[in-house]
């Protein structure tokens, strides 16, 4: 049920939303991150092309045509703080703000479908939301694309893989995704979205599964942050 507008205004007055970086209450017109911290976010400006660092990392693993990333990722950078709060701090609205900043990167070649990397249902239950949902929905809305979170599903839990190298991660994750309704992917431009791109194993596995289900799909990728190494 939609909340009554005065209740949401009231709750905003009593519990103002705070900046995801510095923690100060946000003022009117600011979303998720205050204007001062926005200036400090490490936006990449990487154009959405087939020949950039993000695309090349993915192309080593999977048939991804074009890719981009909104921010550079680094443990001590504000981008990490923003994404940590989005994932673990019950702040799904941060995804909305990031999508608004990312949309201009993609508007020259908008996809037909925006597909989030799925969470395993168990993880989804534990967190209560998929951190990519608001991000993917707003991005799709801005680009005139369809948000489709029912086509790519995760059916096997992947053990935590932060300590593994790219090939172990790839082996771990390959075979954990499957496609529902491959017909909807055929001949379409499919944008896969994820939060942080490090080795590319997760996104690469998702791209491979889509390509296998439908060779005529054109696969794009966009992430909130790119861990360049
Ligand atoms: Zn701030």
| pLDDT for 171 | 64
- Domains within the chain, CATH numbers bracketed: 1-40 (no CATH), 41-226 (3.40.50.2020)
Beta strands in the chain (DSSP E): 66-72, 113-116, 146-147, 152-154, 177-179, 189-197, 218-226
| pLDDT for 1 | 46
Rounded distance from Cα 78 to ligand 1 centre (Å): 10
Query: Distances in Å between the alpha carbon of 69 and those of 41, 52, 60, 180?
Result: 13, 10, 17, 27
pTM: 0.88
- C-alpha to C-alpha distance for 115 and 192, rounded to whole angstroms: 5
Rounded distance from Cα 91 to ligand 1 centre (Å): 15
pLDDT tens, per residue, the chain with 229 residues: 455 666 666 666 677 789 999 999 999 999 999 999 999 999 999 999 999 999 999 999 999 999 999 999 999 999 999 999 999 888 988 999 999 999 999 999 999 999 999 887 888 888 888 899 999 999 999 999 999 999 998 877 666 556 666 666 666 676 788 999 999 999 999 999 999 999 999 999 999 999 999 999 999 999 999 998 8
- C-alpha to C-alpha distance for 8 and 194, rounded to whole angstroms: 29
Rounded distance from Cα 103 to ligand 1 centre (Å): 22
Rounded distance from Cα 26 to ligand 1 centre (Å): 8
Rounded distance from Cα 73 to ligand 1 centre (Å): 18
| pLDDT for 94 | 94
| pLDDT for 158 | 63
| pLDDT for 176 | 83
Cα torsion at 64, 53, 133, 19 (round to 10°)?
-170
Rounded distance from Cα 16 to ligand 1 centre (Å): 13
């Amino acid at each position: 049920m939609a909340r009554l507008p005065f209740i949401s205004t009231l709750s905003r007055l009593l519990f103002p939303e705070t900046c995801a970086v510095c923690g100060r209450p946000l003022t009117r017109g600011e979303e998720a991150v205050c204007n001062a911290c926005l200036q400090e976010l490490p936006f990449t400006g990487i154009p959405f092309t087939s020949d950039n660092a993000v695309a090349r990392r993915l192309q080593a693993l999977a048939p991804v045509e074009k890719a981009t990333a909104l921010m550079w990722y680094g443990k001590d950078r504000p981008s990490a703080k923003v994404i940590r709060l989005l994932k673990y701090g019950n702040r799904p609205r941060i995804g909305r703000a990031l999508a608004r900043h990312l949309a201009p990167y993609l508007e020259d070649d908008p996809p037909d479908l925006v597909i989030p990397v799925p969470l395993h249902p168990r993880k989804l239950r534990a967190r209560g939301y998929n951190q990519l949902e608001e991000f993917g929905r707003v991005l799709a809305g801005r680009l005139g694309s369809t948000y489709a979170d029912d086509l790519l599903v995760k059916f096997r839990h992947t053990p935590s893989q932060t300590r593994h190298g790219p090939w172990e991660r790839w082996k771990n994750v390959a075979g954990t995704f499957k496609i529902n309704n491959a017909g909807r992917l055929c001949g379409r431009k499919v944008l896969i979205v994820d939060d942080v791109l490090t080795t590319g194993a997760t996104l690469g596995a998702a791209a491979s599964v889509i390509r296998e289900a439908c060779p005529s799909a054109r696969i794009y990728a966009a992430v909130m942050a790119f861990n360049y190494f």
